[in-house]
Amino acid sequence: GSDIPESNCDVLIVGAGPAGLMSATWMARCGIKARIVDKRGTKIFSGQADGLQCRSLEIFDSFGFADRVWKESNHMIEVSCINPGPDGRIRRSDRVPDTIPGVSRFQQVVLHQGRIERFFLDHLKKYSDITVERGVLPESLDIDASKIEDNDAYPITVKLRHLTDEEAMPAQSKSSDIADGLFRSNLAADDTDDLIRKSTGNEGNAEIVHAKYMIGCDGAHSWTRRQLGYEMQGEATDYIWGVLDIIPITNFPDIRMRCAIHSANSGSVMVIPRENGLVRLYIQLSEIRPDASGRADRSKITPDVIMKAAQKTMSPYKITYEYCDWWTAYQIGQRVGTNFDAHQRVFLAGDAVHTHSPKAGQGMNVSMQDAFNLGWKIGLVVNGVSPRSILKTYQSERRRIAQDLIAFDHRFSRLFSGRPAKDVTDEAGVSMEEFKAAFVKGNQFASGLSVDYGASMLVAKPGDSAEQGDGTDVGVAGAATNGSSARKVVGKQELATNIPLGMRFQSFQVVNQAGARPYPFQYWLMSDGRFRIVLFAGNMADEKQKERVRKFCAELEKPGSVIRRYTPPDRAIDSVIEILTLHSAKRVDVELLVDFPTILHPFDEKRGWDYDKVFVDDESYHEGFGDAYKNYGVDKERGCVVVVRPDQYVGYIGELEDVEDLEAYFAGVMIKDNAGLARTKVNRNVRETP
Ligand code: FAD
């Protein structure tokens, strides 16, 4: 009826799990008017995902809350491989480092999903008015195809229903006394406010929302995906797994290690030591088989059944518990969505477009990373900074990652679920050598650091633009629709051999020129929606090199330069593109205010010079030498210029003289003289001290 309230919002996010909260976080940081709704009445308080990759921690750090995760989580240091010996009895056969040493300044950790959601919610509160509207779900979705290319239009219409309290809080499963979700005595103190659903003021009623963009983060059974009519490709496996979060009472020696246990004939168990003395067991339930329809009868599965299976696998060791925090059972489906978006207006992220087994600890990570890839792109488009064409890179960059993930999971699950081979002639069995090799290789993939995006308008590297599949050459066409004369650029990888184009900018220690404090360089690549030019200024004590740097900066100072062209005159000079400098002279041989052109440390009438933009590759007093130039593979005398995307992935590399290439790169990804920018709230580079 006409009395249903109607309103506009720029971005509507459906689902407040890890993917939805990551999306909302970008909207908060880009100053976008966004709403996020979830059909559940409360956040989750225990259970579900718990593994966090190094890359996820780097991402949390770029928003400023990795320290909370680091402190509360259990750190995964070593993996123990437990296999049957010649006598059939299980024993430790190998130890492998969990995180490959040196790949990141973080290691893999475990902390349950409810805590991660807590940190996101707190972050949203700090940076925006966005709050999760719980007990709210969409009922219908319409996309007006005639308006999809109109930047000012709201082509998406969604009818939302606000559930009553009874509808929003479905009764817990009655199959055991342990709540599989909400267990009050285990609540963290800062979660208690969320125990009771906040009123939306509209319970039992409907409303109409008109949105510019929508992100479906509504999990494996995604409503949004079904509305779009998109399929998931792949299949369910026959393996049924139980999960128990317990405080174990046991004589098993490696209970505080991550263990992969293969028994001779009684299945497999994965042990994950957790925070607060908890241990998670993933247990293959070989006695419970799917029926003819391919589904297992879940009512037969109880914590007792799962525990008995674990005891069998772990025999002759004994394991029991008094306290169980959470449990569940699931059947693995390995599937990838056919499409990740509709008209680059409605997007799908997380479990809504890929499902797989949880043992490799990927689901929450890859889901958040989908949204981490997408959120800033939508933010920049809504703010009028970037053309809509950059949105095509979401599917081209993330669908391949999802496919890689499923392929990895497929191999890993087979190796993990299989019975160990008795000897080399036992072809039905799994070779434990093969398992270990796959595990070590898998660790690289599982760190999240091997992600390597293909050539596109956002990644100036050789090769065909990744959008070839749908017949659009985004690298060039994107720039063309944007009214500029951009050409395809190829970055010069040889100038920075260890800063791979398409991969995340890795971190080495550098020292602040003004204050002598050491930092991991990545610390300054904050997630606030800005692109960054990292100027490797080389040897600033050398007059010739200093002249090159001066010339480069003079180009950036000119009216119409990449910096001036995309930054509205009433905005801070670093509000769209920030320049960070790393030089290689001795810190004490150069002076910030004397030797470095002002655009490298801009002046603000209220705050004076910016001291947090120029760094040196030099010794620190207390934390050694980062040797960053050598580690990045950059020439110490000549340096180079690197462009880092708002998500820390490397977009372009060139000489200081290649200003035209730099301009061409930005012409492909930004809109000149944009008007929308007036609305963005990007603040001056102020990073809170940890
Ligand atoms: P979800 O977390 O599923 O969130 C979807 C949200 O959307 C939910 O809050 C839901 O209420 C809401 N929603 C759904 N439909 C609607 C609708 N129609 N309207 C409004 N809201 C809706 N991953 C790991 O990385 N490591 C692990 O160790 C791990 N272990 C796991 C163990 C178990 C037992 C399970 C079940 C999962 C595990 N996962 C693990 C997977 C991980 O939980 C998921 O991959 C991750 O939560 C996906 O995030 P998401 O945001 O895409 O979806």
Instruction: Encode 580-597 in three state secondary structure.
Output: EEEECCCHHHCCHHHHCC
Give me ligand 1 centre to Cα 534, in Å.
36
Q: Whose structure tokens read 């792949």?
A: 234
Residue 62 in 3-state DSSP?
Answer: helix
Q: Do 6-74+106-232+334-389 and 466-679 have matching folds?
A: no
Band (pLDDT 50/70/90 cuts) for residue 49 is confident
What pLDDT does residue 423 have?
Answer: 77
User: Is 604 in the active site?
Assistant: no
139 is written with which tokens? 């009922």
Alpha carbons 471 and 499: distance in angstroms, whole number:
30
Residue 5: how many other CB atoms lie within 10 Å: 11
Task: Enter the CATH code of domain 6-74+106-232+334-389.
Answer: 3.50.50.60
CA 238 to chain centre: 30
Over 60: is that where the pLDDT of 475 sits? no
What does the pLDDT average to over 311-318?
96
**pLDDT > 90 in the chain, percent:** 67
What pLDDT does residue 413 have?
Answer: 76
Provide the residue ranges of all domains of the chain, joining segments of one domain with +.
Answer: 6-74+106-232+334-389, 235-333, 466-679
* Nearest-CA residue for atom 21 of ligand 1: 38
Its ipTM equals: 0.96
- What are the pLDDT digits (tens) for 623-650? 999 999 999 999 999 999 999 999 999 9
Task: Indicate which residue of 138, 358, 602, 646 is catalytic.
Answer: 358
What does the pLDDT average to over 40-55?
83
* Nearest-CA residue for atom 34 of ligand 1: 48
Task: Indicate which residue of 40, 161, 274, 345 is catalytic.
Answer: 274
What does the pLDDT average to over 303-326?
95
Alpha carbons 85 and 435: distance in angstroms, whole number:
15
Give the mutation target among 180, 280, 281, 364 for probing the ligand 1 site: most ligand atoms within 8 A of CB.
Answer: 364
Task: Enter the CATH code of domain 235-333.
Answer: 3.30.9.10
User: Is 274 in the active site?
Assistant: yes
HSE-CB for 315 with a 13 A CA cutoff? 11
Give the mutation target among 48, 279, 413 for probing the ligand 1 site: most ligand atoms within 8 A of CB.
Answer: 48
Over 80: is that where the pLDDT of 560 sits? yes
- Residues lining ligand 1, Cβ inside 6 A: 14-20, 37-40, 48-51, 113, 137-138, 217-219, 223, 243, 328, 330, 350-352, 358, 361-365, 367
Which atom belonging to ligand 1 lies closest to the Cα atom of 220? Answer: 3
What pLDDT does residue 301 have?
Answer: 87
Residue type, 525: L
Alpha carbons 596 and 540: distance in angstroms, whole number:
9
Alpha carbons 75 and 56: distance in angstroms, whole number:
14
Q: Are 528 and 383 in contact (CB under 8 A)?
A: no
Q: Whose structure tokens read 């993939």?
A: 445
What pLDDT does residue 230 have?
Answer: 96
Beta bridge partners of 90: 84
Give me ligand 1 centre to Cα 165, in Å.
22
Over 50: is that where the pLDDT of 582 sits? yes
* Nearest-CA residue for atom 2 of ligand 1: 17
**pLDDT > 70 in the chain, percent:** 89
Query: Taking every pair of C-alpha atoms in the chain, what is the biggest distance, in angstroms?
Result: 78
Return the CA Rg of the chain.
Answer: 26
Give one DSSP letter per residue of 228-295, joined into a string: HT--EEEEEEEEEEEEEEEEEEE--TTTTSEEEEE-SSS-EEEEEE-GGG-EEEEEE-TT----TTS-
Phi, psi (degrees; rounded to nearest 5) at 617: -90, 85
What does the pLDDT average to over 321-342?
90
- What are the pLDDT digits (tens) for 382-408? 999 999 999 999 999 999 999 988 888
Range of weakest confidence among 20-24, 219-223, 650-654: 219-223
H or E stretch at 160: strand 156-162
Phi, psi (degrees; rounded to nearest 5) at 150: -90, 115
Which atom belonging to ligand 1 lies closest to the Cα atom of 349? Answer: 52
What pLDDT does residue 24 have?
Answer: 98
CA 592 to chain centre: 35
What does the pLDDT average to over 247-257?
97
Beta bridge partners of 535: 581, 641
DSSP structure class, residue 619: B
Residue 440: how many other CB atoms lie within 10 Å: 14
What does the pLDDT average to over 135-139?
95
Task: Enter the CATH code of domain 466-679.
Answer: 3.40.30.20
Which of 619, 637, 617 shows the shortest CA–CA distance to 628? 617
Alpha carbons 478 and 419: distance in angstroms, whole number:
51
Is 0.90 topped by the overall pTM?
yes
pLDDT top residue among 103 and 157: 157
Give me ligand 1 centre to Cα 6, in Å.
30
* 483 backbone φψ class: left, alpha, beta (φ>0; ψ -120 to 50): left
What pLDDT does residue 284 have?
Answer: 84
- What are the pLDDT digits (tens) for 10-27? 999 999 999 999 999 999
Which of 290, 274, 275 shows the shortest CA–CA distance to 241? 290
Over 60: is that where the pLDDT of 556 sits? yes
What pLDDT does residue 477 have?
Answer: 35
Give the mutation target among 55, 57, 163, 218 for probing the ligand 1 site: most ligand atoms within 8 A of CB.
Answer: 218
Mean of all residue pLDDT scores within the chain: 88
Give me ligand 1 centre to Cα 330, in Å.
13
What pLDDT does residue 439 have?
Answer: 73
Beta bridge partners of 94: 81
Residue type, 622: H
What pLDDT does residue 41 have?
Answer: 85
* Nearest-CA residue for atom 23 of ligand 1: 363
What pLDDT does residue 294 have?
Answer: 65
